[in-house]
Chain A
Amino acid sequence: MVREQEFLYASGRIRALETKLLSRTIVERILEAQDMDAVMRVLSETDYAPDFEELESIYDFEKALENSMKRTLGVIKESLKDQRVVRFFTLKYDYHNLKVVLKSRILGVEVPENLTTLGEVPVEELLKLSKGEKDVAVPKLMRLAFERAAEVYEETLDPQQVDLILDRALYEELNLLVQDIGHDFLKSYLAALVDLTNIKTMVRLKYMESDLRTLKKSLLPGGSIDLEFFEKMFQEPVPVLIEALAASNYSKVVKDGLENWVSSGSPAVYEKLVDDFLLGMLRKGLYKPFGLETVVGYLGARENELKILRVLMVGKINGISEDMIRERLRDVYA
């Protein structure tokens, strides 16, 4: 169990940092910008200015986003004694690197550009692990997951299995981490994240005309909706699922999102509503004077901000229409 007082300094710092988050106005201005130069001008007024100034080409904008996230994680880490809360956010990057390293080994290539620098386990150690060296500084759970994924790939030669096994391992470890931190807010956040992802996965698999076996392997552990529910719903049409979830917390997201998915064939609205719902949960951190919520809320808000910028940048670079961008544009936190 963590004590609220541990988050006082970080919370104070975050209160000041929250003022620098992108506002609705900035997002609108980027959306309405005529060309990339105009986009850059708007960005130069924000906290992202230094990251974007370094870029050689606007096509490298992911680098800028990654650097800004790296800075945020650094600031929060140095403000906390107990960094498990930050680990809740960085763990996925390590598992991403794990996937890249394993897939590189399978293909016999090196693709350093697919790795992320946001993970906490050094990439060199992961590479050593993939070369089969014994003495590597990789946490045990990750090592086991890596070995299991490698084994299953050799049996099935199906690259999807690699992702499925490592995704599951990631969420198992996240569950352990959240249990260990023992904070209700984080528990309910993770549960909602898992539930909404599982609902999405199930509908995706229905569209793919996949089977129950794949569904069982793809569902993530730790949600508040038990997995039998999904197995039962898998045979039913989507409206039955919407009906069945009408009494849950997610009723609105599920109803609006999935109905749109069924009618338009595009999951964009559901995905946006899910992110907005989760952001709504995180906003508790905005109103709490100090505590774990403030830290989790801020880190979640930063991730959300990267999503907003990514949609905007990709949309603007490729000349996607404003409507299509807007449909995918997430809410802002503050």
Chain B
Amino acid sequence: MVIRVNPTRMELLSLKKRLVTAKRGHKLLKDKQDELVKKFLDMVKQNRALREEVERELIDAFRSFTMARSQMPANVVEESLMIPSAKVSINVKKENIMSVNVPRIEISQEESKNLYPYGFANTSAEMDSAIRTLSTMLPKMLKLAEIEKACQLMADEIERTRRRVNALEYVLIPQLENTIKYITMKLDENERSSRTRLMKIKEMVMQG
């Protein structure tokens, strides 16, 4: 395909400039894509490891909670945990990785506060370890959420970059090249025709 332009020398010059820019852009984008994919693969690996860890620990935490539950009447469990004692606040910030804004979650937990909101006379000691495990789970789960979201955003960005690289590589650059070729040919042809015309005129002048 060819861009519809006037086949003038001016156009040719500007098209050539555009082609150079497009080629440089293509190279840059290609580099960015490679780097993104590398980072992405890293993160996915990290993500999978963390996900497996969290899932394993969650199963443990739920099991120990279930066992604690089996040692007390349901309403005693409910009563024990009615008011949570530890408060956690979350602060979400943004971080730029290869022009992708990924979230960074920061947790602030009141350190001094007691983790266990219940008394000891009628609760099972199995509850303690369940609560302890669950409380260590929270930072990990937030970390997992963070990485998972980042992976998602990176994947989007990779997709977008790939599309742009392709557009440059398969559409814009060939188009420019074709147009340049076309203008060059057109200009050459013009030259040739004007030359033949000149030769013709010269011949007529000589005969006359």
Contacts and interface: CB of A to CB of B under 8 A. Distances in A.
On whether A and B touch (CB less than 8 Å), the answer reads: yes
A159 B85 contact: yes
A268 B69 CA distance: 12
Given A159-B82, A204-B128, A100 B75 contact: yes
Contacts, number: 122
Interface stretch (B50-58, B117-125, B188-196): B117-125
B203 interface: no
A103 B83 contact: yes
A114 B79 contact: yes
A264 to B, nearest CB: 11
A266 B70 CA distance: 14
B207 interface: no
B67 A164 contact: no
A314 B124 CA distance: 15
B67 A268 contact: yes
Contact of A208 (B69, B74, B82, B116): B116
A91 B113 CA distance: 31
Could you say which of B79, B118, B126, B128 has the most chain A C-beta atoms within 10 Å of its C-beta? Answer: B79
A62 interface: yes
Contacts of A310: 70-73
B126 A159 contact: no
B129 A265 contact: yes
B67 A167 contact: no
A324 B116 CA distance: 25
A167 B70 contact: no
A271 B114 contact: no
Nearest to A59: B74
A314 B70 contact: yes
B128 A320 contact: no
B173 to A, nearest CB: 61
B79 A267 contact: no
B105 interface: no
Interface string B159-188: 000000000000000000000000000000
A115 to B, nearest CB: 7
A238 to B, nearest CB: 13
A207 B177 CA distance: 75
Contacts of A203: 125
A159 B117 contact: yes
A96 B75 contact: yes
Given A160-B85, A271-B126, A170 B121 contact: yes
A160 B70 contact: no
Given A62-B73, A159-B85, A310-B73, A114 B120 contact: no
The interface residues of chain B, by DSSP majority, are classed as: loop
A270 B129 CA distance: 15
Contact of A324 (B67, B74, B75, B129): B67
A116 B82 CA distance: 15
Contacts of B42: none
Contacts of B117: 158-160, 163
B119 A166 contact: yes
A167 B79 CA distance: 13
Contact of A267 (B66, B72, B113, B126): B126
Interface in A277-334: 306-307, 310-311, 314-315, 318, 320, 324-325, 328
Given A158-B114, A208-B128, A167 B121 contact: yes
A45 interface: no
Interface in A204-231: 204-205, 207-208, 210, 214, 218, 220
Q: Which 4 A-B pairs have the closest CB atoms?
A: A163-B119, A267-B125, A314-B70, A159-B83
Interface of A: 62, 65-66, 92, 96, 99-100, 103-104, 106-107, 111, 113-116, 158-160, 162-164, 166-167, 170-171, 197, 200-201, 203-205, 207-208, 210, 214, 218, 220, 265-268, 270-271, 306-307, 310-311, 314-315, 318, 320, 324-325, 328
27 contacts: A96-B75, A96-B76, A96-B122, A100-B75, A103-B82, A111-B82, A116-B73, A158-B117, A159-B84, A160-B116, A162-B119, A164-B120, A167-B121, A201-B121, A203-B125, A207-B128, A218-B120, A266-B126, A267-B125, A268-B126, A271-B71, A306-B73, A310-B73, A311-B71, A320-B63, A320-B70, A328-B71
Given A163-B80, A214-B114, 16 more contacts: A99-B79, A100-B82, A104-B82, A107-B83, A111-B82, A159-B84, A197-B120, A197-B121, A266-B126, A267-B124, A307-B71, A311-B70, A314-B66, A314-B69, A320-B67, A320-B70
Interface of B: 63, 66-67, 69-76, 78-80, 82-85, 113-122, 124-126, 128-129
